[in-house]
Structure 1
Amino acid sequence: MASSATLTSTHLPTLRTILEEWNQKRPATKGFPVPLAELQKSPPSKDASKDVIVAFRTRPPLPNEAAEKFHADPDAEDAVLDDAGKLAPVEFCAGITVASAEPGVFFAHVPGMKWSGPTLTHKPYEADLAFGPDVDNEEVYQRTVVANDMLSLALSGGVGCILAYGQTGSGKTYTMESVEHRVARDLFAQARIVGKRLLFAQDGDHAIAETGDIFEFNVTFLELLGKHASDLLESTEEVDASGNPVRTEVLVREDKVGNIRPNLISSTVSSSEELEELINKALSHRRTSSTLRNAASSRSHALLTITIKNTLLPYADEGQLILVDLAGSERYEDSKDHDKQRMEEARDNNKGLMNLKECVRAKAKMATEDGFVHIPWRSNKLTMLLKPIFDIESRQPSKAMIIAHVSPHIQDTIHSTNTLSYAAPFKTVPPKPRGPSPYDAQDPRTWNHDKTVEWLTAQFTKRAMKSRQAEWNVKAKSAQLAGRKLKPLADLAPGQLDLGVDISKLCPPGLTAKNLGMLYTTQFVQRCLEARTGEALTQDEVKSTAADVFASLFYLILTAKTKKRNEIMKSRKKLDTEGTYGDAPRDIKDYDEEEFLEAQIYYGNDWGKIIIAAQKLCKNEGKNWTEVYPKTVDDMMVKFRAHKAAADREAAEKVEVEE
């Protein structure tokens, strides 16, 4: 039986003795194979190609933390007393032991109680990395973000996501804030290195190449409290009863083409100092409350998203860095004193964390399976915001880093095992490579630039021809009323028809239908107005035509998505019902369902009575029901058919007499 924190504190001397005996027998702790000083010079590890990487971390105990948070039972016979006869202060005892740093292995020491006294179970958990209490934030950053090329991934158009998970008070926010500030410190320097390399490769202006400033950085910071999202960059002076700022709720929903784009303040930053300032401003707005484990616990999920656009390749996929400090998970003991609102928030947070678990597990499963794997990212707002790493249709390379935090105290080991059990299954093998989507003439998401230009030209040409024909019809009608006849419309040579829009300006080199599909209707209309040519179409006609063309593009995208989804669903393995459940007891080879239903209506309540009577007889005589049931039904069907035939003859004779 698991032991409570109070019971553990009471039996701490016994548990400490058991733990010391175990430590003496276990092998020495394995450290990191590559020292931190040589990390950047060493080749990438085998984990660098993984989609999901798992790390464990435990912090050092704070001074007097055990004595302040945990208390023994004063009425227990074996309670430790000081010289004055009072309960002795509770001293720290480790609940987590690092057995190996890489690959990571944590042992959780779980206290229990048997009839013979206190017990201690040592449960191992495996991860890709494990950071003990002596590892500082810089080393955590170097071995997670830097060693796995998360910055280069985002600068190359990929999606990198770092999530901190664990019990409230286990050090998540401490880790994530340090990671955020170090990303701000290194991102722009890394961007200049990548920019210089791209500029020199393209034989660009060497003066510009020396700066390497080819990237644009936009930052959003969202807070998700239960089911309610808000913008941490929004300034407000209104506060609630707890002193927390009151902000406008931001809607988190999927638009008609499947994008998740909350209406957040997007701030453009161009230096480490600007990004640092923005992070500090947003973190100062984050909602916190006191709990039994932490006086300033983060009560919400905080998502810092850095979007990176390459100005050399303006229509390439934008890279993203998503840094997520998850709300602390809580046990009942930690939240039982909360008010109703806080209890609901804790419940919603835990639901989001459990759905995140399912999504990450499914993503990890994709690495080892060829078939369809469903990722339920639509089930919760938290996972909807993380769609870039969960969308199975996305061709952007992505990588997720989960850092699971556990408390160092043996009194928290029960919760630590929950955290480690949550994160350990995410550890996976490297994924199979996924190439670009195959070309499909009916799927705009697979079109290249030339195909996009061809389609746009055809769409605007069709509408221009229709407009030209409608204009001629009006003139022809007027001429007919005046007693004249117009000449038929002459065929135009290629290039003679004024489309009203310069397609080369609307769709410059590099732009594809996939890029256009990411726009809003108003943005596409604005692009068409900017590419307007001549006076063939008025501004209102250009707006109308542009909206019509964009609607056609959306229809093709949605149709292609629906078709793809149906193909995926059909590719799922069907359940072998006969192999699972055996043959059905009713054989309807001689009659269809409609006739079977008619017979049941005819018999009414007698149908069930006959079946029950046959079942009792079968049981008393020890016969096989799968053989008796079809015979019972067949007998009733024979009687029903005879009744039906007689009724049909009687109806036919009645008709003959009337005639």
Structure 2
Amino acid sequence: MASSSTLTSTHLPILRTILDEWHQKQPVPKSFPVPLAELQSPPSKDKLKDVIVAFRTRPPLANETADKFHADLYAKDAVVDEAGKIFSLQFCAGITVASTEPGVFFAHIPGMKWSGPTLTHKPYEADLAFGPGVDNEEVYQRTVVVNDMLSLALSGGVGCILAYGQTGSGKTFTMESVEHRVARDLFDQARVMGKRLLLAQGADHPKADTGDIFEFSVTFLELLGKHASDLLELTEKVDENGNPVRTEIPVREDKVGNVRPNLVASIVSSSEELEVLINKALSHRRTSATLRNATSSRSHAMLTITVKNTLLPYADEGQLILVDLAGSERHEDSKDHNKQRMDEARDNNKSLMNLKECVRAKAKMAAEDGFVHIPWRSNKLTMLLKPIFDIESRQPSRAVIIAHVSPHIQDTVHSTNTLSYAAPFKTAPPKPRGPAPYDAKDPRTWDHDKTVEWLTAQFTARAMKSRQAAWNVMEKQAKLGGKRIEPLAAPKPGELDLGVDISKICPAGSTAKNLGVLYTPQFVQRCLEARNSPALTLDELNHTAVDIIGNLFYLILTAKTRKRNEIMKSRKKLTTEVYGDAPRMIKDYDEEEFLEAQIYYGLDWSKLVVGAQQKCKEEGKDWEGDMYPRTLDDLMDKFRAHKASLAAQKASDAEE
């Protein structure tokens, strides 16, 4: 049986002795095969994993053990000194790093048996393991740099870094350092890649010397329980606890399935600007005291850096998502919270469990053919991480999960939960797929020429309709004057005035997929800017643009629905395991009659069947093949006799 932190503290001298004996029998821990100073450039892309799991434990703080943990003097087998007092509490490690790469953590789990305190040494595996002596720079180099996360975002992919663990285990300390180092390196990496792209294309670009072809926009979202807010929003309102009160931001899908909260997107062009923005947002984040941490983060904080390539403006925008998850809490850590804090803790834990289910489903999809449901819509946190979990996404993605655990043996029970939580993350999801095959009914697969053709057809149809309406008016007026006009002839090539320049609505390189991510006002604005004649008035062009973008949204949604139905039809049937099979009925009773019989007998049905089965066992007879069918026959015969008796009585009453 697992031990509580108080009981663990009470038996700390005994547990330390057991742990020392275990350490003496273990081999020397394996360090990183390549020293930090000798780390080379990232490996080839085919060797990079889609999901990288790292474990990290921090060093104990001064006086932390004595301040946070307490022993029970009156507990059975409590270890006391000559004066009858509990020995002063000293740090005892609950985590041992057995190997750094591949990573192996041993969690030392205290327990109690009839003979006294015990320790169970349970190993957990990951890609990397960082012990208490590893600093933030090495964590950043071995997770973000080695796995080429910055280049992935600059290349139009999605990189995600998440920090998870118990409150007070060091998540925020790690993530803030990663965020600042990303700010330090991102722009230098962008300039190097920009120069390389310009050189490869032989482009005579005004920024060929600097390589500044990328635009960066930054959002910082806080998810507190079920409520999302913008950490970059300026506000002077504060609540009773002194925390700023911000406008709640809705988190939902738009018309074509994109999740884009209405956040303040700040454009940054240098490391210094990004640093200032990060510091500003972090200063606004909610914190509160818990039994484990005086400044515990009460919310999920999500920094999203969106990268746009101005050299290839209609290529997919890259994203770098850095998420400092709220600390998970046990009842022991949160039992003194007020109702609001308890609700927040419960919502945070629900979102973390839903995140785990999404990752498990993503991993399952890699191992199985057919349809696997990923429940990313079940929670706002996973909705915000849709680029990672959307099975239809064609963008390459890579995720680094750093699971943090407390170094104290009193927290080992919670540490095992954290390490078990991170275990499913290690299974790599499927490799990114290539471009979707062309489908005339799916705008997401159209190239530039097909998109221009469709837009031209849309504007042509409306121009023809206006032309026909104008002719109808002329014909009506001619009839009133007793005249006839010539029938409306088909327009000659180039004769029909569409009123807009299609090449400005869909420039070279742009496709229907790019238009599909525009909001309706953005598409209307683009059409107004492309207006080149009075053939369409401003009001007519407004209505026409709204209709056309609505048609595009409809085609995309229809294609998604059709694709989803195809996947659903191809999925494999689930096989379920049960604890023993129910005996098969020999006779095929009418289902409705069988149910009526069970309702008639009520609880007696189970009692009669179980009694018959026990009697059969005592007599050594065949239950499934013989006695069970007979028991059912007897029960059904009695029920039918009862029904017949009721029917006869009803008929007799009717005659009288």
Partner residue in 1 for 2:189? 190
Q: Counterparts of 1:383 and 1:301 in 2: how far apart (Å)?
A: 11
Q: Counterparts of 1:607 and 1:346 in 2: how far apart (Å)?
A: 45
After superposition, the Cα gap between the structure-2 partners of 1:450 and 1:630, relative to the gap in structure 1 and judged at 3 Å, is: farther
Are positions 1:24 and 2:28 aligned together?
no
Moved more, 515-524 or 75-84: 75-84
Q: Counterparts of 1:296 and 1:513 in 2: how far apart (Å)?
A: 48
Secondary structure at 1:249's aligned position in 2?
coil
Are positions 1:180 and 2:184 aligned together?
no
Secondary structure at 1:210's aligned position in 2?
coil
Question: 1:46-57, aligned counterparts within 5 Å?
Answer: 49-57=48-56
Secondary structure at 1:121's aligned position in 2?
strand
Question: 1:82-93, aligned counterparts within 5 Å?
Answer: 86-93=85-92
Contact 2:371 2:572 in 1 (8 A): no
After superposition, the Cα gap between the structure-2 partners of 1:3 and 1:575, relative to the gap in structure 1 and judged at 3 Å, is: closer
Partner residue in 2 for 1:478? 477
Contact 1:176 1:325 in 2 (8 A): yes
Q: Counterparts of 2:598 and 2:82 in 1: how far apart (Å)?
A: 85
Q: Counterparts of 1:21 and 1:578 in 2: how far apart (Å)?
A: 43
1:146 maps to amino acid: V
Partner residue in 2 for 1:426? 425
Partner residue in 1 for 2:326? 327
Partner residue in 1 for 2:40? 40
Secondary structure at 2:209's aligned position in 1?
helix
Secondary structure at 1:72's aligned position in 2?
coil
Q: Counterparts of 2:241 and 2:636 in 1: how far apart (Å)?
A: 72
Contact 1:50 1:428 in 2 (8 A): no
Q: Counterparts of 1:499 and 1:626 in 2: how far apart (Å)?
A: 83
Question: 1:240-639, aligned counterparts within 5 Å?
Answer: 240-429=239-428, 431-575=430-574, 622-623=626-627, 625=629
After superposition, the Cα gap between the structure-2 partners of 1:45 and 1:153, relative to the gap in structure 1 and judged at 3 Å, is: closer
1:10 deviation in Å? 1.2
1:455 maps to amino acid: W
1:365 deviation in Å? 2.6
Q: Counterparts of 1:268 and 1:436 in 2: how far apart (Å)?
A: 30
1:493 deviation in Å? 1.5
Q: Counterparts of 2:528 and 2:267 in 1: how far apart (Å)?
A: 26
Partner residue in 1 for 2:654? none
2:16 maps to amino acid: R
Are positions 1:134 and 2:133 aligned together?
yes
1:143 deviation in Å? 0.3
Moved more, 570-579 or 309-318: 570-579
2:29 maps to amino acid: T
Partner residue in 2 for 1:5? 5
After superposition, the Cα gap between the structure-2 partners of 1:44 and 1:489, relative to the gap in structure 1 and judged at 3 Å, is: closer
1:623 deviation in Å? 4.8
Contact 2:42 2:145 in 1 (8 A): no
Q: Counterparts of 2:440 and 2:71 in 1: how far apart (Å)?
A: 72
Residues 147-194 of structure 1 show CA distances to partners (whole Å, capped at 9, x for unaligned) of 000000000000000000000000000000000000000000000000
Q: Counterparts of 2:546 and 2:82 in 1: how far apart (Å)?
A: 85
Partner residue in 2 for 1:232? 231
Residues 225-255 of structure 1 show CA distances to partners (whole Å, capped at 9, x for unaligned) of 0001111001111111111111111111111
Contact 2:370 2:572 in 1 (8 A): no
After superposition, the Cα gap between the structure-2 partners of 1:439 and 1:63, relative to the gap in structure 1 and judged at 3 Å, is: same
Secondary structure at 2:208's aligned position in 1?
helix
Moved more, 572-581 or 372-381: 572-581
Residues 423-446 of structure 1 show CA distances to partners (whole Å, capped at 9, x for unaligned) of 012112474452211111100001
After superposition, the Cα gap between the structure-2 partners of 1:307 and 1:45, relative to the gap in structure 1 and judged at 3 Å, is: closer
Q: Counterparts of 2:105 and 2:270 in 1: how far apart (Å)?
A: 39
2:123 maps to amino acid: P
Partner residue in 1 for 2:151? 152
Partner residue in 2 for 1:116? 115
Q: Counterparts of 1:344 and 1:508 in 2: how far apart (Å)?
A: 50
1:19 deviation in Å? 0.6
1:89 deviation in Å? 2.3
Contact 1:223 1:301 in 2 (8 A): yes
1:545 deviation in Å? 1.1
Q: Counterparts of 1:548 and 1:148 in 2: how far apart (Å)?
A: 45
Moved more, 546-555 or 343-352: 546-555
1:92 maps to amino acid: F
1:584 deviation in Å? 7.8
1:362 deviation in Å? 1.7
Residues 333-373 of structure 1 show CA distances to partners (whole Å, capped at 9, x for unaligned) of 00000000000000000000000001112222333333222
Contact 1:156 1:319 in 2 (8 A): yes
1:26 deviation in Å? 0.8
1:537 maps to amino acid: L
1:609 deviation in Å? 6.4
Secondary structure at 2:491's aligned position in 1?
coil
Q: Counterparts of 1:204 and 1:78 in 2: how far apart (Å)?
A: 79
Q: Size of the alignment, in residue pairs?
A: 626
Q: Counterparts of 2:577 and 2:243 in 1: how far apart (Å)?
A: 60
2:19 maps to amino acid: L
Secondary structure at 1:209's aligned position in 2?
coil
Moved more, 527-536 or 575-584: 575-584
Residues 458-494 of structure 1 show CA distances to partners (whole Å, capped at 9, x for unaligned) of 1111111111111101110111111111111122211
Contact 1:195 1:214 in 2 (8 A): yes
Q: Counterparts of 2:13 and 2:575 in 1: how far apart (Å)?
A: 57
Give ranges in structure 1 of 5+ residues lacking alignment: 644-659
Secondary structure at 1:395's aligned position in 2?
coil
1:67 maps to amino acid: A
Contact 2:249 2:263 in 1 (8 A): yes
Secondary structure at 2:70's aligned position in 1?
coil
1:551 maps to amino acid: G
1:129 deviation in Å? 0.5
Give ranges in structure 2 of 5+ residues lacking alignment: 617-625, 648-656
After superposition, the Cα gap between the structure-2 partners of 1:375 and 1:8, relative to the gap in structure 1 and judged at 3 Å, is: same
After superposition, the Cα gap between the structure-2 partners of 1:608 and 1:387, relative to the gap in structure 1 and judged at 3 Å, is: closer
1:631 deviation in Å? 13
Secondary structure at 2:174's aligned position in 1?
helix
1:331 deviation in Å? 0.5
Contact 1:368 1:429 in 2 (8 A): no
After superposition, the Cα gap between the structure-2 partners of 1:63 and 1:203, relative to the gap in structure 1 and judged at 3 Å, is: same
Q: What value does the CA root-mean-square deviation take over the aligned residues? A: 3.0
1:608 deviation in Å? 7.3
Residues 523-545 of structure 1 show CA distances to partners (whole Å, capped at 9, x for unaligned) of 11111111112111111111111
After superposition, the Cα gap between the structure-2 partners of 1:297 and 1:202, relative to the gap in structure 1 and judged at 3 Å, is: same
Contact 1:585 1:629 in 2 (8 A): no
Contact 2:10 2:86 in 1 (8 A): no
Q: Counterparts of 2:418 and 2:250 in 1: how far apart (Å)?
A: 30
Contact 1:105 1:126 in 2 (8 A): yes
Contact 2:396 2:432 in 1 (8 A): no
Are positions 1:125 and 2:152 aligned together?
no
Q: Counterparts of 2:89 and 2:66 in 1: how far apart (Å)?
A: 5
Q: Counterparts of 1:45 and 1:134 in 2: how far apart (Å)?
A: 30
Give the TM-score of the pair, scaled to structure 1.
Answer: 0.89
After superposition, the Cα gap between the structure-2 partners of 1:420 and 1:605, relative to the gap in structure 1 and judged at 3 Å, is: closer
Partner residue in 1 for 2:623? none
Question: 1:71-90, aligned counterparts within 5 Å?
Answer: 71-76=70-75, 79=78, 86-90=85-89
Contact 1:15 1:120 in 2 (8 A): yes
Give the TM-score of the pair, scaled to structure 2.
Answer: 0.90
Partner residue in 2 for 1:653? none
